[in-house]
Chain A
């Protein structure tokens, strides 16, 4: 399915994400990395309160926007691929110590060399994966 270029809402939404990350850094001294917050909220008792508050508020606020703007979920994506992708994202972000938010939004802003390398890797493999699936194998398009 093709999607429209949305420069204004994407820039504005991105700025809100950045504001959230700065707020968490200023008020709690913490990095807004979703994969890390999610894993540690499940596995560690200490600090669980703020992590659950952050994650639940994130889901609720997104849900409010979906309701107000009439956003429908994607449907019909093949489940075997969905499961494989979920396993890879969970495994990869654990082993690589971060995802789009932790390495991307936060790590780059902390001028972390590790995060710059991580972002280059996952963006590169993301571009390559879509190229192979859509243009070489002609799948999942």
Chain B
């Protein structure tokens, strides 16, 4: 399977998973984050279902030492905990808690003939550029 085909298949599975799981419904996301109100625990199961596959799947590939056809696996993750990681993640969570979209579901919602996800994604791209230039990597 060539790279483009594999990536398209992975993207299709990812998008289907987002939609089937309810992760693309921003109201469901906001209700998951609303512990004190109309709490909908579904999204914990989305994360749980995903990790139930990625944890053994990655462990299997790490044991093999390479991907299919000898593809190199990414280097060990960095262990550096810095202000960028903490502040960036905290700000991301605030935006997530306001509108109920994280990047994947926001993009998936572009499939709707609706203006809302286009406005959100345009703002997301602008914010990403601000982040790219506002704080150069140390």
Which residue numbers of A lie inside 8 Å of B, CB to CB? Answer: 1-7, 9-32, 34-35, 38-39, 42-43, 49-51, 53-66, 69, 71-75, 77, 79, 81-101, 103-115, 117-119, 121-131, 133-135, 140-141
Question: Which label, helix, strand, loop or mixed, suits the secondary structure of the B interface?
Answer: helix
Question: Which label, helix, strand, loop or mixed, suits the secondary structure of the A interface?
Answer: helix
- Complex formed: what's the CA distance from A55 to B18 in Å? 13
- Complex formed: what's the CA distance from A84 to B97 in Å? 11
How far, in Å, is A93 (CB) from chain B's closest CB?
Answer: 5
A59–B50 touching, CB < 8 Å: no
- Residues in A with CB closer than 8 Å to B45 are 7, 10-11, 14
How far, in Å, is B51 (CB) from chain A's closest CB?
Answer: 6
Name the residue of chain B whose CB is nearest to the CB of A42. Answer: B125
Of B19, B89, B111, the contact of A92 (CB 8 Å cutoff): B89
Q: Which of B15-52 contact A (CB under 8 A)?
A: 15-28, 30-31, 33-38, 40-43, 45-52
A29–B116 touching, CB < 8 Å: no
B19–A13 touching, CB < 8 Å: yes
- Complex formed: what's the CA distance from A104 to B91 in Å? 16
B131–A61 touching, CB < 8 Å: no
How far, in Å, is A36 (CB) from chain B's closest CB?
Answer: 9
Of A22, A34, A81, A131, the contact of B34 (CB 8 Å cutoff): A131
Q: Which of B107-124 contact A (CB under 8 A)?
A: 107-114, 116-117, 119-124
Q: Which 7 A-B pairs have the closest CB atoms?
A: A13-B21, A14-B49, A96-B88, A86-B123, A90-B127, A63-B111, A18-B53
Q: What are 16 A-B residue pairs whose CB atoms fall within 8 Å in the complex?
A: A3-B40, A11-B49, A13-B23, A22-B54, A29-B74, A53-B8, A66-B19, A71-B24, A82-B116, A88-B92, A88-B127, A89-B127, A98-B89, A103-B89, A114-B81, A131-B34
Query: Contacts A65-B16, A86-B120, A86-B127: A15 and B37 contacting too (C-beta < 8 A)?
Result: no
